[in-house]
Amino acid sequence: MEKLLNRFLRYVSFDTQSDELTNMTPSTPGQMIFARELEKELQQIGLTEITLDENGYLMATLPANSDKPLPTVGFIAHLDTSPDCSGRKVSPRIVEKYDGGDIVLNAEDNVLLRPDEFPELLHYTGQDIVVTDGKTLLGADDKAGVAEIVSAMEYLLAHPEIKHGRIRIGFTPDEEIGQGADKFDVKRFDAAWAYTMDGGEIGELEYENFNAASARITFKGRNVHPGYAKHKMINALRVAAQYAIMLPRWETPEHTEGYEGFYHLISCEGTVEKTVLGYIIRDHDRDRFERRKKEFEHLVRKINKEFPDCASLEIKDQYYNMREKIEPVMHIIDLAQEAMTNVGVTPVIVPVRGGTDGARLSFEGLPCPNIFAGGVNFHGRYEFVPVPSMVKARDVIVEIARLVAEKH
């Protein structure tokens, strides 16, 4: 436990926030710095076939120690942290044997991690948990996953009595900005299937995620001096606002859960002359997803009927629900469930209300469901990770490797 914890604390010291505005891969230099240090560590613990490419994709192999022909299984995590909150100079603190009360993250700014606001805290009463100093995110998303994978490989190397096949591990940049799978070489990774160690609370096992698209609606206005604007001005800001309220009020993130999809307005930039709305569109069901995109087209036509040639729409699909690619190989889900049960973890199969590198990779020929890494409250200063959850995630990886050898 102590070795895994120290590894995680070392990893979060690297500033690896991604940035979608740089148009580079990796999008920030800190990710490559972290990748190079990881590369050295993988060499030191004894892995082989270690490669780090110019885009920050790090891969390595734990060779098989079984005489039986076995499928190659992969484990994947991402190097970057979210741009939503600072990841610079992360200063984690360990709360030993959490007592169930409020945790003061930052007394000066009165930042408290409170169970009445975050009731999941109470799931971990009596456990050691790692918290932030109230100024940055923690980085358990996904440095907990990275630490768990590396620790599992080290454990298997130290315990040759546990028979296993060839295992591939991969660490990707820029997952948080939706680009983690963009330049991932599935052929070079060379695994029959894989698991991303990027889920939340202990027990989570996910093979369903949103179908996702981005939408950008540009409203072209006509600016005229407001004193003489009658029947002349077209205020792009007001037209954009009109468009926004035409979408169903209750189909937004703050009013949905589980399998419910949504429309999410994420940006609004503009003037009277020109305004641009940015949306993301999400739904687990493919047919409903397609209908949501059609609704955008319908509303643009409606706006243009009232204000000719005012609105233009650009929609881009981002990723699709991996379920259709996982269902034909459900044995990999059964295997993960059995591994969890064997190490004392109750599997909790839930749909991802978001995306994962595994969804993209599944559609590129690498079935890749998602397993918990243990962190909670990702992307902000209230993020924390219970230490026993990280240990159990490592144990699940080890047990999957053992089960593959046993069952094949």
Nearest to 137 by CA among 390, 318, 385: 385
| Calpha distance 388→212 (Å, rounded) | 33
364 exposed, middle or buried (CB, 10 Å; 0-12, 13-18, 19+)?
Answer: middle
Closest CA to 29 of 90, 92, 91, 88: 88
Inter-residue contact 367 to 325 (CB < 8 Å): yes
CA angle 78, 83, 86 (to 5 degrees): 105
Question: Rounded distance, CA 172 to CA 377, Å?
Answer: 22
CA-derived radius of gyration, the chain: 23
Q: What angle do CA 250, 251, 252 make, to 5 degrees?
A: 95
Q: 164, 165, 162, 182: which is closest to 173 by C-alpha?
A: 182
Catalytic entry in 80, 176, 283, 383:
80
**Separation of alpha carbons 345 and 200, rounded Å:** 14
Residue type for position 369:
P
The reply to whether 80 belongs to the active site is: yes
Report the sign of the C-alpha dihedral through residues 42, 44, 48, 50, in that order: positive
For 376, counting Cβ atoms within 10 Å of its Cβ (0-12 exposed, 13-18 middle, 19+ buried), the class is buried
Omega of the bond leading into 308 within 30 degrees of 0 (cis): no
Residue 354 has what DSSP assignment? S
Residue 300 has φ and ψ, to the nearest 5°, of: -65, -45
Is 175 a catalytic site residue? Answer: yes
What pairs with residue 95 in β-bridges?
A: 129
Task: Please provide residue 10's backbone torsions phi and psi, each rounded to the nearest 5 degrees.
Answer: -70, -40
Residue among 278, 250, 53 at smallest CA distance from 171: 53
Helices 29-45 & 140-158, crossing angle to 10 degrees?
Answer: 10
The active-site residue, picked from 142, 148, 154, 175, is 175
Point out the residues that are catalytic.
80, 175
